[in-house]
Amino acid sequence: MSDAPKDPKLAAKERARELRHQAWQRQKERQAHDPRLLALKEAARERRKAAYRAAKERHTAAAGEKKRAAKAEQAQARAAERTAAERALIGALRPPRPSEPVGVQLAGDPWTIN
């Protein structure tokens, strides 16, 4: 028994399908080694890499700026807290104010204003 189908229309369809498949394979092989197409692919690859690098730099710069702003804000908050603590400490260490009215300076009292 032969492998070829008995119907001539079916044989022609099978042969056409096989020819299309072979043509597709030849075209695929031709494109795989086409210098113009390879150059286009390489250029597209380089554009993607450049876009990725630029995006990464933008993100890094934005993150760095955000970090610097947070550090500056923290430093400002620490300085305000330190100032408040120093004032509280000075108030605790200061001698008690005299009971005399303001404007009368006692001998040796640096806190009373004339």
Would residue 105 count as lying in a domain?
Answer: no
Contact 113, 103 (CB under 8 A): yes
Distance CA 39, CA 47 (A): 12
State which residues form the domain around 66. Answer: 18-93
pLDDT score for 1: 44
pLDDT score for 5: 58
Nearest Cα neighbor of 41 from 49, 109, 74, 98 is: 49
Would residue 68 count as lying in a domain?
Answer: yes
- pLDDT tens-digit profile, the chain (114 residues): 456 557 888 899 999 999 999 999 999 999 999 999 999 999 999 999 999 999 999 999 999 999 999 999 999 999 999 998 888 888 777 766 666 555 555 555 566 554
Would residue 101 count as lying in a domain?
Answer: no
Would residue 114 count as lying in a domain?
Answer: no
Would residue 3 count as lying in a domain?
Answer: no
pLDDT score for 113: 56
**Structurally, how many domains does the chain consist of?**
1
**How much is the CA Rg of the chain, to the nearest whole Å?**
44
Three-state SS for 96?
coil
pLDDT score for 93: 76
Distance CA 110, CA 100 (A): 14
Would residue 37 count as lying in a domain?
Answer: yes
Would residue 6 count as lying in a domain?
Answer: no
